[in-house]
Structure 1
Amino acid sequence: MTRPNGHSVSVAGVIIDDQGRALLTQRRDNGHWEAPGGVLELDEDITTGLLREVEEETGLQVEPVALTGVYKNMTQGIVALVFRCKIVGGQLTETNETRAFRWVTTDEVRSMASEAFAVRVLDAMDANHAPAVRQHDGVHLLSA
């Protein structure tokens, strides 16, 4: 989604389980493995949008624990805010946006997701990591 002279803001929730694994969802539209999330509605606050997007894509209710990174797709003008989350309710359910789920380790994240999306999950999996600020072209990280 390209917006002339503007940006789009998205949110993603990296859900971490008790074993330190992250939940990846496989998108129905392109088959990519990513953390659940999506674009904020214009009148929607960040937390409400995060909770809505995660539940729409997974069936889970979550609680954001920490902001783990801010990422900009320089090609499309999308700024993504990524949060580490914990489950507080619901049940994993396939939706019209997701066709599969997997709880993954850091090594699995690297092999399943493109660099631009894997780094978001890896940053969130590192609880000692200060929030990251990164740029990418939609696939690969770019130097600052």
Structure 2
Amino acid sequence: MSDSRHSVSVAGVIVDDQGRALLIQRRDNGHWEAPGGVLEQDEDIITGLRREVQEETGLDVTPIALTGVYKNMSRGIVALVFRCKAENGTLQETNESSAFRWVTAGEVIELADEAFAIRVVDALTNHASVPVRQHDGVRMLP
């Protein structure tokens, strides 16, 4: 019998006045990604988003729009990604992040795995509707 449970994660694509997105370099695997993580069981989506971004960047954010829904088919994780605006705080390394970089859509494609780069590209693009996509943890799936 297979396990039918999923986990839900959130990520915040923080966009600056120049239209660039903030990426963190994760301490655990060295990958460049938008800050975020798994929601706690009793936590609402926006509270979890703000908590995860603050824990990984030191910034307090306001979500502007849901910009994509993604499922990691190999791990059963559904990710909700939001375009965000930084309101307060100071960008700082944390237990979970070792470096930061402000990037354009073109630069994120060079830095991040396809499955994570597309989240940032989607957040920087004004889609008519929210994209719903699936991946295997690295590559996008049809």
Q: Same fold (TM over 0.5)?
A: yes
| TM-score relative to the length of structure 2 | 0.97
Residue 124 of structure 1 aligns to a residue whose secondary structure is helix
Residue 19 of structure 1 aligns to a residue whose secondary structure is coil
Structure 1 residues 129 and 18 mapped into 2: Cα distance closer, same or farther (>3 Å)? farther
Look up the match of 1:117.
Answer: 116
Are 1:83 and 2:96 matched, yes or no? no
Residue 137 of structure 2 aligns to a residue whose secondary structure is coil
Look up the match of 1:127.
Answer: 126
Task: Tell me the C-alpha RMSD between the 2 structures.
Answer: 1.0
Look up the match of 1:7.
Answer: 6
Q: Percent identity?
A: 71
| TM-score relative to the length of structure 1 | 0.96
Could you list the structure 1 runs, at least 4 aligned residues long, displaced by more than 2 angstroms after superposition. Answer: 127-130
The alignment covers a number of residue pairs equal to: 141
**Displacement, 1:127?**
2.9
Residue 66 of structure 2 aligns to a residue whose secondary structure is strand
Structure 2: how far apart are the matches of 1:102 and 1:120? 16
Look up the match of 1:136.
Answer: 135
Structure 2: how far apart are the matches of 1:130 and 1:104? 24
Q: Which amino acid aligns with 2:47?
A: T
Maintained 8 Å contact 1:70/1:80: yes
Q: Which amino acid aligns with 1:42?
A: Q
Q: Which amino acid aligns with 2:74?
A: T
Look up the match of 1:22.
Answer: 21
Residue 47 of structure 2 aligns to a residue whose secondary structure is helix
Which segments of 5 or more consecutive residues in structure 1 lack a partner in the other structure?
none
Q: Which amino acid aligns with 1:70?
A: V
Are 1:39 and 2:38 matched, yes or no? yes
Deviations along 1:35-90, one digit per CA (max 9) or x if unpaired, are: 00000000000000000000000000000000000000000000000000001100
Residue 116 of structure 1 aligns to a residue whose secondary structure is helix
Structure 2: how far apart are the matches of 1:129 and 1:119? 16
Structure 1: how far apart are the matches of 2:102 and 2:127? 21
Residue 118 of structure 2 aligns to a residue whose secondary structure is helix
